[in-house]
Amino acid sequence: MRIVNLKVNGVGKTFIARPETTLLLALREQLGLTGAKRGCAQGACGSCTVLLEGEPVVSCLVPAVTVDGADIATVEGLADGPALSHVQQAFLDGFATQCGFCTPGMIMSAEALLDRNPDPTRDEVNEAISGNVCRCTGYEPIVSAILDAAVRRREGAKL
Amino acid sequence: MTLLRGRGYASVNYPTGMNLGGDPSQALIHATTMGGFVISLSSVDLGQGLKTVVAQCAAETLGMPMENVIVDTADTDTGPHCMGTFASRGTHRIGNAVIMAAREAREVMLAVAADELEVDAGDLETDGTGFVRLKGSPATEIHIQDITLAAHFKQGKTISGRGIFLKERNYPVPETGEMDPDSCQAHACTVAEVEVDDETGIVTVLSLHNAYEIGRALNPAMAAQQVEGGGWMGVSHAVFESTEPYYPASRDHGPVDFCEYLMPGPAEIPVQSSVILERPASNGPFGAKGIGEMTANAPIPAIANAIFDACGVRLTTMPFTPESILRGLDALRA
Ligand code: FES
Ligand code: FES
């Protein structure tokens, strides 16, 4: 058991973690942030994707005690009040979600991609979400929404 | 190495719902004091959009906005009976049950409003924004919140309704085999375009073009997504999802994760185009038929036919793996 401090979506959080407590479990069960989903719990589906120091990670494979002091971003931190992030709004407008289980992970992978590459090609989008499994949509609306979000971000940034 | 292109076509007729022991679903609806309408169901929304579609059916029938409808699903201990969401039956069966329940609730709602407005219920209409008003004299109106308050606190009435859709049990006539197993059938066809690599045996599905006759698309955006999401599943069944080499060679274990049990990712998806045709079914909710499961069907034989067109290999066992393509090509050359 160890005390772990995290900065989650900009807010300091402290909790007690067992050695086997994953970041995903800590977020969901100790911090009440259930946006990241537990799909496979073995790193294969991406539904638990969050950003660790800005990089997308599958939080089901990250022991919480190993990231003491880290900066974590989850889907809950994206919206500014009622104003959704560009990626979220593009997902909504482009109907890029069906059952929604993959959506928080997809969105976090997309945010990370657009943070480092504001003008990605379709292939780069495909690669960025290649670790995120979707069983419903057939991916096309998701890829299109991410490309659309990239445009919105660039135009938003210009204003 | 040559990349061989081919095109194939397949069609599907798909029954909505099932029969045998009979196929019922029930719905209950009641108004809250705040003017909302709660639909109680035992049917699950597992991502197919059932909640949205039944809320649309209820709102349309009640003449109230969608925002006033609350769908409460999936407690089979306490909810009204439902056979389940399978057999592409949800929209058809549950939609019909909800419409029937909403009609009954609407009658009570109009009767309460008529008492408040001191007019005849037969002269009332809904405006779709939350008001019940006198036909031809829209200034004589009352809001649903005032109707439910009056029902609960003045008139002592429950604004509610009961609905059921039952497809009755039906057995085949032994002499002729004739029977009536389903309520309606949706129809579709898909044209697939593929590329076959004659050296590696890899099949790439380039495009799927789908045409679906689905009665009525209650929610066109969701219907289109069902068709294309199902198209993706068809591609996945056709050329990806294999249990080999684990099963059936060894029955002890199969693929355990998505690294061993492959499905197409975003880089392997075909271009899709879809056309929805509407020929309303007389027994469907606002004419709708079910298109849940059929969307993964037509792509598979269409891809098999496209492979045959591309390289002459006729495959009848899914998935159409590189190995089966190469064995087929060898057999042709032999
Ligand atoms: S739950 Fe973490 S990758 Fe599936
Ligand atoms: S929307 Fe259902 S898994 Fe992606």
B47 ligand 2 Cβ < 6 A: yes
Q: Does residue A81 sit within a domain?
A: no
Whole-angstrom distance, CA of residue B279 vs CA of residue B22: 26
Q: What does the block give as tokens for B123?
A: 């002269």
Q: Are B68 and B144 spatial neighbours (Cβ–Cβ below 8 Å)?
A: yes
Measured at the alpha carbon of residue B30, what is the angle toward residues B164 and B290, in degrees to the nearest 5?
A: 40
Residues A153 and A115 in one domain: yes
Kindly report the average pLDDT of chain B as a whole number: 93
What number of helices (H) and strands (E) belong to chain A? 5, 5
- Within a 13 Å sphere around the CA of B316, how many CA atoms are in the beta-carbon half? 0
Task: Find the ligand nearest to B266 CA.
Answer: 2
Contacts B231 to A, Cβ<8 Å: 138
Ranges B1-15, B72-86, B88-102, B264-278: which has the least confidence: B72-86
Q: Are B85 and B44 spatial neighbours (Cβ–Cβ below 8 Å)?
A: yes
Q: What is the pLDDT of residue B251?
A: 65
Q: What is the pLDDT of residue A89?
A: 97
Would the CB atoms of B272 and A100 count as touching at under 8 Å?
Answer: no
Domain range for A133: 86-158
Q: Binning pLDDT at 50, 70 and 90, where does residue B243 land?
A: confident
Residues A72 and A107 in one domain: no
CATH code of the domain in which A103 resides? 1.10.150.120
DSSP assignment, residue B269?
Answer: P
Residues A70 and A96 in one domain: no
Residue ending a domain, choose from A76, A107, A130: A76
Residue B209, pLDDT > 80, answer: yes
Q: Are A32 and A96 spatial neighbours (Cβ–Cβ below 8 Å)?
A: no
- Can you point out the beta strands (E) in B198-315? 203-213, 271-277
Whole-angstrom distance, CA of residue B150 vs CA of residue B158: 10
The Å distance, Cα B233 to ligand 2 centre, comes to: 12
Residues A101 and A71 in one domain: no
CATH code of the domain in which A43 resides? 3.10.20.30
Q: Could you say which of A45, A130, A136 has the minimum Cβ distance to residue B266? A: A130
| Cβ contacts of B146 within 8 Å, gap of 6 or more | B116
Q: Are B210 and B275 spatial neighbours (Cβ–Cβ below 8 Å)?
A: yes
Q: With a cut of 0.90, is the ipTM above it?
A: no
Domain covering B3-16+184-333, topology: Aldehyde Oxidoreductase; domain 4 (3.30.365)
Instruction: Give tens-digit pLDDT for A60-118.
Output: 999 999 999 999 999 999 999 999 999 999 999 999 999 999 999 999 999 999 999 99
- Per residue, the 3-state secondary structure of chain A, as one string, reads CEEEEEEECCEEEEEEECCCCEHHHHHHHHCCCCCCCCCCCCCCCCCCEEEECCEEEEHHHCEHHHHCCCEEECHHHCCECCECCHHHHHHHHCCCCCCCCCHHHHHHHHHHHHHHCCCCCHHHHHHHCCCCCCCCCCCHHHHHHHHHHHHHHHHHHHC
Q: Does residue A142 sit within a domain?
A: yes
Residue ending a domain, choose from A76, A107, A124: A76
Residues A66 and A118 in one domain: no
* Burial zone of B214 (CB within 10 Å; 0-12 exposed, 13-18 middle, 19+ buried): buried
* Residue B200, number of CB atoms within 10 A of its CB: 11
**Residue type for B16, please?**
T
Task: Find the ligand nearest to B258 CA.
Answer: 1
Tell which wins on pLDDT, B46 or B249. B46
**From atom 3 of ligand 2, which residue's Cα is the shortest distance away?**
A134
Residue ending a domain, choose from A22, A55, A76: A76
Q: Which residue has the tokens 């066809």?
A: B189
Q: Are A128 and A113 spatial neighbours (Cβ–Cβ below 8 Å)?
A: yes
A131 ligand 1 Cβ < 6 A: no
Q: What is the CATH number of domain B23-167?
A: 3.30.365.10
Facing residues of B300 across strands?
none
Q: Binning pLDDT at 50, 70 and 90, where does residue B237 land?
A: very high
Residues A104 and A124 in one domain: yes
Interface residue of A136, A143, A147 to substitute, partner B, most B CBs within 10 Å: A136
Whole-angstrom distance, CA of residue B95 vs CA of residue B248: 41
Q: Could you say which of A44, A99, A142 has the minimum Cβ distance to residue B258? A: A44
Residue A41 Cα: closest atom of ligand 1? 1
Q: What is the pLDDT of residue B136?
A: 93
Q: Does B269 touch chain A (CB under 8 A)?
A: yes
Q: Does B153 touch chain A (CB under 8 A)?
A: no
Q: Does B61 touch chain A (CB under 8 A)?
A: no
A39 ligand 1 Cβ < 6 A: yes
Instruction: Give tens-digit pLDDT for B17-72.
Output: 987 678 999 999 999 999 999 999 999 888 889 999 999 999 999 999 999 999 99
Would the CB atoms of B229 and A125 count as touching at under 8 Å?
Answer: no
Residue A43 Cα: closest atom of ligand 1? 3
Residue extents of the structural domains in chain B: 3-16+184-333, 23-167
Q: Which of A40, A109, A134 to mutate to test the pocket of ligand 2 (most atoms within 8 A of CB)?
A: A134
Counted domains in chain A: 2
Ranges A107-116, B69-78, B122-131, B162-171: which has the least confidence: B69-78
Facing residues of B257 across strands?
none
Among residues B26, B107, B90, B99, the alpha carbon closest in space to that of B59 is found at B99
The pTM score is 0.90
Whole-angstrom distance, CA of residue A24 vs CA of residue A30: 10
Whole-angstrom distance, CA of residue A76 vs CA of residue B13: 44
Q: Are B197 and B54 spatial neighbours (Cβ–Cβ below 8 Å)?
A: no
Q: Could you say which of A44, A127, A141 has the minimum Cβ distance to residue B225? A: A141
Residue B249, pLDDT > 90, answer: no
A2 ligand 2 Cβ < 6 A: no
